[in-house]
Amino acid sequence: MTKYPMTVQGARALEEEHLFLSKTERPRLSQAIGEARELGDLKENAEYHAAREEQGMVEARIRDIEGRLQNSVVIDVTTIPHTGKVIFGTTVVLANTETDEEVTYQIVGEDEADVKQGKLSSGAPIARAIIGKEEGDTVVVKTPSGTVEYEIVEVKHI
Could you tell me the residue ranges of all domains in the chain? 4-75, 80-156
How far apart (Å, rounded) are the C-alpha atoms in residues 39 and 102?
Answer: 60
pLDDT above 90 covers a percentage of the chain that reads 84
Fold of domain 4-75:
Helix Hairpins (1.10.287)
Give the model's pLDDT for residue 95: 97
How far apart (Å, rounded) are the C-alpha atoms in residues 84 and 143?
Answer: 25
Q: What is the mean pLDDT of residues 112-139?
A: 96
Give the model's pLDDT for residue 108: 97
Given CATH 3.10.50.30, say whether it is the number of domain 80-156: yes
Nearest-CA neighbor of 156 among 113, 119, 111, 104? 104
pLDDT of 43 strictly over 80: no
Q: What is the mean pLDDT of residues 43-62?
A: 92
Q: Are strands 4-7 and 119-121 parallel, antiparallel or unpaired?
A: unpaired
Q: What are the pLDDT digits (tens) for 56-101?
A: 999 999 999 999 999 999 999 999 999 999 999 999 999 999 999 9
